[in-house]
Structure 1
Amino acid sequence: MRIMQIVSAGDVNGAVVHCALLSRELVRRGHEVTLVCRPHAWAAQRVADLPVEVVYSDLHRWPMDELRRVGEVVRQRGIDAIHTHMSSAHAFGVFLKMRTGVPCVATAHNRYVQLHWMFNDFVIGTSAATTRFHRRYNLVRRGRSKTIHNFIDEQAVANVPPGTRERLRRSFGVGDEHVLVAQIGDVIPRKGLLHLVRALPQILSAAPHVRLLVVGDVKNSAEYMARIKSEARELGVAEKLHWAGHRRDIADVLSAVDAVALASLEESLPLSILEAMASAKPVVATSVGGLPECVAEGETGFLVPPGKSDALATALGKLASDPARRQRLGQAGRQRIADEFSLAAIASQIEDVYRSVAAKGARRAA
């Protein structure tokens, strides 16, 4: 098949990684892939070694110059299905569908109320919670939507060079005697980092060797970041926090940590937790969105209520004090990813969606 992938985010985030990995897997399976993205986008770099036609676009819908230009690419290449990722791409894809008649599939990586959802031929929710949200609030029909979980490239986390763990721990100022817990994701209020910082005093009272590594982009949340740092100073834990900023070497970073936490107040199905599990790291996450669909309580990690710092502290304390448990839960998480969240298995489900919408589109055209 000839598939057009459209992604609107330029730098690395879960949706961009999803789009790039899926594009690579589709090419491996013999499909022709066209990638539409903004100039200098990370996704384009990720497929540069493959026979993927990259079309750069600002994805503006008005004036209609970009819709006409990309629409011409759709016609010239005989695209069978359009697949969109992130809000601007979703809206652009729906307009492109209306202009060309080519069916459009949207993957819902987040939960927002927006008009475009109901006009897609199919909506993929990356978690059951996300699928339910879009059916309820965006009026997406049950017959035009389903849950297909996020996936990760297991090989990417497996191919970490020897010595990476030791090198990165030194760069973070962490010794072998420390238990390093990481939260990976944008430093924004809905990721709940403030609640994790508030859990630190309780954690440190029982396990003073714990350190917290924060990996993520501050984006437009400088005020939130300042609040976190101020509260960390007031709690006396500022020196126990290590700020790594935005990183692209997540597999390497995961090799350096001992456990991963995610204190989110709302989520879909974050790649950071799937990547942590694939790296055999035990996880502590909040029981929101799709997280209960991947984290098995007491088997691959622990689930806690959102906004409850004491529950975070208790769960992380169990991991900090028990290396054998960390290893056992980490290995179980790795196996769960291999069994249920592998790239190959999930890509096959997405292929089925493409075939279905393309067949319906062909019948409409006839």
Structure 2
Amino acid sequence: MNAMKVLHTIAARDWGGIACRVVDQALWTNRNGHECWLACPSDSAVAAGARRAGVPTIGFDFDRPFAPSTILALRHLVRRLDCQVIETHTGRCANAAMFCRDRAVVIRTRHTTQTVKPSLTRYLRWRMAWDWTIVTADVIAQDLLAAGLVPHSRLDVIGEWAAERFFDRSSWPVWRAETRQSLGVAEDDILVGSVGMLRPEKGFDHLLRAVATLSTRCPRLKTVIVGSAAGDAGWEHHLRSLASELGLDGRVIFTGYRSDVAPLLQALDLVAVPSTFEAQSRVIPEAFASARPVVASDVGGIGELVLDGVTGWLVPPASPESLSRVIASVYEDPGQALAIRTVAGRFATERLTIDAGMHAHMAVYEAAWACRRTSPFRHLVLSDLRSRAAPVNR
């Protein structure tokens, strides 16, 4: 195949790392001679964010993936778009898409390190329902292989990447000056920052406890947390209250959701990824591409990117003491941080570009298309159910 028509599907409603990655994929695909769409719930934050970014977006409800109306509506959409590839990014949309394998290649992309719960139906779906599996970290691949859920021959690891804007060195000095000014941070302050949804597993409470222990030792240390809560704002309130309880008023900045991550990273002297649960954080390749040093929890697939003492620092999860030691070392020894970020920047340039990631995706599409098999489920979609199919929301 030369030009491809690709449909991405997301059943989730909240904006997050998966949606960001898919938007990157769709924009790259459409810029490079192919056609690409995203199907997701029309009233979701995912749809709103994708449309703002310029991704052709189709409203689709995956809440009942096994309902005949959902299956027939998706089949109608695939036929109308004449797409050759469906790449699914969440469980419910993957379950619906498996009934379209007679019309397109179905790729199941898994973004989480959560273990697949054992059951016969899940085992059969993973073994038979999709043409190929992509995972975003090697640790996920090893888990699926150990459970016998996918054959090695139809499994590829394509990790996170950084978009082109993060590599734009010509903009870095201006971004740093303007962003620090907007945040009220002086140039001689040391600014530690984290980017992500405000959820417990992101570990921002551990970061706050870490910086609180350094108030006397590092008097010019400030912290910024970039992100918003998904749905319930209770955890955001908890973090703000915790910052006050720890005596960090005036030293911690909560920016809320920001789309200008590249300029924000330039304002930082250290990027912290204190997650207690993570596959491969998107912000790590972005920080590497921005030549910002990274300290991260040694969980999930993070160690596949952050090589301790080489491209960054790894610390145990939920360990404010370990975090504080690294933060203090960056504060007191900027030369060490410079050496780390130089190596990390080179690593990003060589291996973590969106071009590299998307060429890998295209190779998977080509391989899956080459060994395309007829869906064993096509006969389950009965013609007398067509009248009950829900119309595609546009």
Query: After TM superposition, is the score higher than 0.5?
Result: yes
**1:198–1:156 CA distance, 2 compared to 1 (3 A):** closer
In 2, Cα distance between equivalents of 1:229 and 1:296: 32
Spell out the pairing of 1:348-363 with structure 2 (5 A cutoff): 348-361=359-372
Residue in 2 that maps onto 1:249: 260
In 1, Cα distance between equivalents of 2:16 and 2:142: 23
Residue in 2 that maps onto 1:18: 21
Is contact 2:280–2:300 with CA below 8 Å preserved after alignment? yes
Residue in 1 that maps onto 2:85: 81
Q: CA deviation at 1:243?
A: 0.6
Spell out the pairing of 1:222-237 with structure 2 (5 A cutoff): 222-237=233-248
**1:95–1:246 CA distance, 2 compared to 1 (3 A):** farther
Q: CA deviation at 1:122?
A: 1.6
Q: CA deviation at 1:183?
A: 0.8
Spell out the pairing of 1:209-288 with structure 2 (5 A cutoff): 209-220=220-231, 222-288=233-299
Give the one of 151, 159, 165 matched to 1:155.
165
Q: CA deviation at 1:157?
A: 4.9
For the pair 1:35 / 2:45, whether they are aligned, the reply is: no
* Runs of 5+ consecutive residues of structure 2 not aligned to the other structure: 377-394
Give the one of 168, 182, 206 matched to 1:171.
182
**1:11–1:222 CA distance, 2 compared to 1 (3 A):** closer
Q: CA deviation at 1:104?
A: 1.1
Q: CA deviation at 1:180?
A: 0.7
Is contact 1:268–1:290 with CA below 8 Å preserved after alignment? yes
Q: CA deviation at 1:242?
A: 0.8
In 2, Cα distance between equivalents of 1:234 and 1:61: 44
**1:117–1:204 CA distance, 2 compared to 1 (3 A):** farther
Residue in 1 that maps onto 2:330: 319
In 2, Cα distance between equivalents of 1:37 and 1:156: 27
AA partner of residue 7 (structure 1): I
In 2, Cα distance between equivalents of 1:91 and 1:138: 19
**1:192–1:102 CA distance, 2 compared to 1 (3 A):** same
Shifted more, 211-220 versus 32-41: the winner is 32-41
The answer to which structure, 1 or 2, has the higher relative contact order (CA under 8 A, 6+ apart) is 2
Q: CA deviation at 1:56?
A: 2.3
Q: CA deviation at 1:259?
A: 1.3
In 1, Cα distance between equivalents of 2:230 and 2:38: 25
The number of residue pairs the alignment matches comes to 359
AA partner of residue 112 (structure 2): N
Is contact 1:84–1:107 with CA below 8 Å preserved after alignment? yes
Residue by residue, what CA displacement relative to the aligned partner does 1:18-39 show, whole Å, maximum 9, x if unpaired?
1122223223443332332333
AA partner of residue 256 (structure 1): A
Identity of aligned residues (%): 27
SS at match of 1:120: coil
AA partner of residue 42 (structure 1): G
Is contact 2:224–2:254 with CA below 8 Å preserved after alignment? yes
SS at match of 1:208: coil
Residue in 1 that maps onto 2:51: 44
Is contact 1:60–1:92 with CA below 8 Å preserved after alignment? no
Q: CA deviation at 1:253?
A: 1.1
Is contact 2:294–2:313 with CA below 8 Å preserved after alignment? yes
Q: CA deviation at 1:79?
A: 2.2
Shifted more, 148-157 versus 102-111: the winner is 148-157
**1:235–1:155 CA distance, 2 compared to 1 (3 A):** closer
AA partner of residue 248 (structure 1): S
Is contact 2:166–2:290 with CA below 8 Å preserved after alignment? no
For the pair 1:131 / 2:141, whether they are aligned, the reply is: yes
RMSD: 2.6
Residue by residue, what CA displacement relative to the aligned partner does 1:333-357 show, whole Å, maximum 9, x if unpaired?
1211111111112212211211122
In 2, Cα distance between equivalents of 1:138 and 1:10: 30
In 2, Cα distance between equivalents of 1:79 and 1:229: 46
Is contact 1:287–1:304 with CA below 8 Å preserved after alignment? yes
Shifted more, 318-327 versus 276-285: the winner is 318-327
Q: CA deviation at 1:273?
A: 1.3
Residue in 2 that maps onto 1:292: 303
Q: CA deviation at 1:286?
A: 0.7
* Runs of 5+ consecutive residues of structure 1 not aligned to the other structure: none
Q: CA deviation at 1:133?
A: 2.9
Q: CA deviation at 1:194?
A: 1.3
**1:156–1:262 CA distance, 2 compared to 1 (3 A):** closer
SS at match of 2:371: helix
Shifted more, 149-158 versus 264-273: the winner is 149-158
For the pair 1:102 / 2:107, whether they are aligned, the reply is: no
AA partner of residue 19 (structure 1): V
Is contact 1:181–1:213 with CA below 8 Å preserved after alignment? yes
SS at match of 2:212: helix
Residue in 2 that maps onto 1:193: 204
TM-score by length of 1: 0.88
In 2, Cα distance between equivalents of 1:23 and 1:30: 12
Shifted more, 198-207 versus 224-233: the winner is 224-233
TM-score by length of 2: 0.82
In 2, Cα distance between equivalents of 1:147 and 1:21: 17
Q: CA deviation at 1:10?
A: 5.2
Q: CA deviation at 1:162?
A: 6.3
In 1, Cα distance between equivalents of 2:323 and 2:16: 25
